[in-house]
Structures are given as structure tokens and as C-alpha cells.
Amino acid sequence: MVERIAASEMACASAALADAAGLVTQIDFARAGIVTPQMEAVAAAEGRDPDVIRVAVAAGRIAIPANIHHESLAPEGVGETLDGVPLSTKVNVNLGISGDLADEALEWEKVDVALELGADAIMDLSNSGKTRAFRRRLIEKSPAMIGTVPMYDAIGYLEKALIAITPEDFLEVVRAHAEDGVDFVTIHAGMNRRVIESFKETGRLTNIVSRGGSLIFAWMEATGRENPFYEHYDEVLAILHEHDVCISLGDAMRPGSGYDATDAAQIAELIEIGKLTRRAWDAGVQVMVEGPGHMALDEIAANMKLQKRLCHEAPFYVLGPLVTDIAPGYDHITAAIGGAVAAMSGADFLCYVTPAEHLRLPDANDVREGLVATKIAAHAADIAKGVPGARDRDNRMSDARRRVAWEEMFGLALDPDRARSIFESAPPSTEGTCTMCGKMCAMKTVNDIMEGLTVDLDAH
């Protein structure tokens, strides 16, 4: 018998169950046969049975990142059901305060764009100064999932040089992010000494391009110690379990060029991440696994299958992948191409890439361009892989186009403001048409004939 808890009763019920049986996380409740309000919300959004969602959460096939302190959250599910039916592909926006461009107002402008266009998640990658106030306000405001990389925040939060930071210090930063209400954290725990040995032996064209991974690598090389997040992984999991933070196992060895894709270092780390995935599930912590990176188009599908196999079908979160390395200024397009193929082939979550990638910190317009491109990729993949209901909006758009119903078309567009702006920038001479075809509008001509109206063939 599956028990369903109303949202209004969740706080009291969660506290009682936590006291009685240690149930805190979504995976705890799922394994206990309890459908939470978060699972109900995901089921409603995806058009699935709530117990189907619960069973998949219990097995680790679906993650619902939902920190117990994130009260404004509209829960989202990432992954697929046990019978292999995928949830809709989710999309993440990266933003955050940079040391070279520490403009908090600009970051809030980006947040507004991300929420306006329906980003499923926002990762706060702030890496300069005291970032906690910004992070807390973001969590308070955002219905989207919030993710962070605690490693980015360590130097500013602790006010210490990298070499002086201890493993206990790193754990303190993870704890601070969890207490603030972050729904998922990227932890680069898979890059241990074995993986670094493989990296050094085989070599790379672009070495390590993960910012967090490079900092951990530098710390390990300077101290001669093991990766602190690997060495103290059980303690990390205990912190995350206490607040129901989903661990996003970061790929420090993701390829930063097509040349390095699917190499020994990437696969060695992925093997370690597979082991860490099991340990997290055993500790009652939800898991997502992060993936490449840069990769030729014909390698993407195989990489998605390899990741799912090695990481026990855990939800997969990919950056791009970027399918060519020669398009700076247009990398939102190279990433959207790769993202569509990745999601069609099994990826569950796409991290956007903006036109500013490899060039500078993105501005609000870059965020808009990158997010829309990635949402197009995600939606195209959802249609291709048969996500239930994915084509419904397209069908409504096609019907509106047949009827030349412009307001309906704008309302169905991924970016309504952009569509309206382009349409209104060149007013047509024939009412109801656009300047592409004008009087020769195929839709209007056929509609008029079908409705028995007279058509001026000379005008055509």
C-alpha cells in the first residue's frame, strides 16, 4: 500500500518520519513506499503515475533535487522510469559573480532571463568574494533547481590560499551550501590518484579543462595527498543526506577538445564515478552523473550508452557536448547540435552553452541565446525519443500556423518576445500575412479556398 502525503502535511510528516526512521531524502521516502509531494509534482508535470516515479526514485533512475530548505522550489525530475520511458530533458543555466566582472546586478538580470524562459535549473558558479548572500537570495527567489560547485567558493568563503585549505575546510564549504538550500552540488570526487596516474601516462592535448577539477588537481599535486572529496566521501554523503542535496558527480577529466574525447583519463574517471554512484545510493543520497564536454558527433551516442552502463543507469547531465572546436562566438550552436544527439541517445539533463563560451563571462543576452538554443535541443530530443506529450505543443503550433493565428503562435513559441519582435519589425501589406510571402501566403490561399472565398489569382 503506497501512502501519499499532501503538500500541506509534508513538513510535519517529514519531521516525524525523520525522527522515527531517519527518512530525509527523496530516495529515503521512495524506498519506504511513500510518494512525497515532490514526486506528485513531477508525476503531474510529466503525465505519469506517481508510484511509477516513486519506484524509479527508489532505484536511482530518477533524481528529484529538492533540498529541504528550498521552500520556493517547483520540483523537477531528471532521468527515466524503470521501463526506460524518459522524463522530459531538463536544461540548466550557469551564471554567477566573477572576479573580473563582479557585477551582481548583471547576474540578477541573467536570473530573470533564465526564469522567464523556463530554465529547469540554475547553477550559481560564483567564484569571487563573499558569495553566500547572493546564493541565499537566489534560493529564496528561484522556483528552478539551484546547483553549485562548492570548490569554486572555497577560497573566498574560507579566506585562505588553496594550499592552506584542509579537507575539513572543504567539508565546511559543502556543509554551508547544503544548509543554504542548494538542491544539487557538483563534487569532483572521481578524480583520485589512480585517475591522475592514467592522465599523466597517456597525456592530452588540452589537459584538464574543468575549473573545479583543475583546482583539486593543483591541491593534490601541491600537498601530495589524495583528492579530499574522494578520501572523505562518506563524510560528504552524510552532509548531503542531512539536507537532501543531490550529488552531481563532476567529471574533472571531461575532454576539453574533440581530440581528447573518450580517452583513458575520461574513462578511468567514469569507472570511479560508477563506484561512487553506488556508495551514494547506499547512503540514501540521490545522484546525477556529469559528462562531456567536447566530442565528435559520431562518438556521442556510444558515450551516452557507456556512461549509463558504467554508472548503473543514473541520470546523466552533460555540457553540450560541443561537436567542433572552431566556432567561438557560436558555441551555443555547436553545443545544441551535440546536446540534441546526446539527449536523444540517453542524456537526461543538458547544461547550456552561450555564444560567449571560451571568450568572456556571458551577459543577459548571451544567456537568452544559450538557453533557447539548449531548450530547442532538449525538445527536439524529447520528440525523437518519444517522451509522452512532447509533440503536443508542436502540433498546436502547426494548427495555429494553418489558421494564421499569430497571437497563438507567439504564445506557443519558446521565446515569444523574440518571435513577436521579428514579426513586427517588417509589417506586411496584406493583413494576416507576413513579409516572407505576403499575398502569396500558402496558408491564406488554401484557407480561403477551403472556406469558399474568392481568391485573386492575378495577385499570385
φ, ψ for residue 362, nearest 5 deg? -70, 150
Residue 227 DSSP label: P
Q: Is 294 annotated as a binding residue?
A: yes
Q: Is 440 annotated as a binding residue?
A: no
- In the chain, what is the straight-line distance between the N-terminal and C-terminal CA atoms, in Å? 67
φ, ψ for residue 294, nearest 5 deg? -115, 135
Angle, vertex CA 435, rays to CA 433 and CA 441, nearest 5: 45
CB-count burial class (<10 Å; 0-12, 13-18, 19+) for 145: buried
* Packed helices 132-141 and 167-180: angle between N→C axes, nearest 10 degrees: 30
Q: Is 290 annotated as a binding residue?
A: yes
Q: Is 225 annotated as a binding residue?
A: no
Residue 298 DSSP label: G
Q: Is 434 annotated as a binding residue?
A: yes
Retrieve residue 250's grid coordinates.
563532476
Exposure letters 63-92 (e unless 16+ CB within 10 A, then b): bbbbbbbbeebebbbbbbbeeeebbbbbbb
Pairwise CA distance, residues 190 & 279, whole Å = 12
> Comparing C-alpha atoms, which of 154, 114, 112, 105 is closest to residue 132?
154
Q: Is 123 annotated as a binding residue?
A: yes
Residue 369: how many CA atoms within 13 Å on its side-chain side? 17
Q: Is 70 annotated as a binding residue?
A: no
Residue 389 DSSP label: T
CB-count burial class (<10 Å; 0-12, 13-18, 19+) for 127: buried
Pairwise CA distance, residues 460 & 448, whole Å = 14
Q: Is 152 annotated as a binding residue?
A: yes
Q: Is 317 annotated as a binding residue?
A: yes
Q: Is 379 annotated as a binding residue?
A: no
Residue 443 DSSP label: H
Residue 175 neighbours by CB distance under 10 Å: 18
3-state secondary structure of 377: helix
Retrieve residue 242's grid coordinates.
542531512
Residue 355 DSSP label: T
Q: Is 12 annotated as a binding residue?
A: no
Q: 397: part of which helix (H) or strand (E)?
A: helix 392-402
Q: Is 204 annotated as a binding residue?
A: no
φ, ψ for residue 204, nearest 5 deg? -150, 155
Residue stretches of the annotated binding site:
94, 123, 152, 188, 210-212, 251-254, 290, 294, 317, 358, 434, 437, 441
Residue stretches of the annotated binding site for Zn(2+):
294, 358
Residue stretches of the annotated binding site for [4Fe-4S] cluster:
434, 437, 441
Residue stretches of the annotated binding site for substrate:
94, 123, 152, 188, 210-212, 251-254, 290, 317
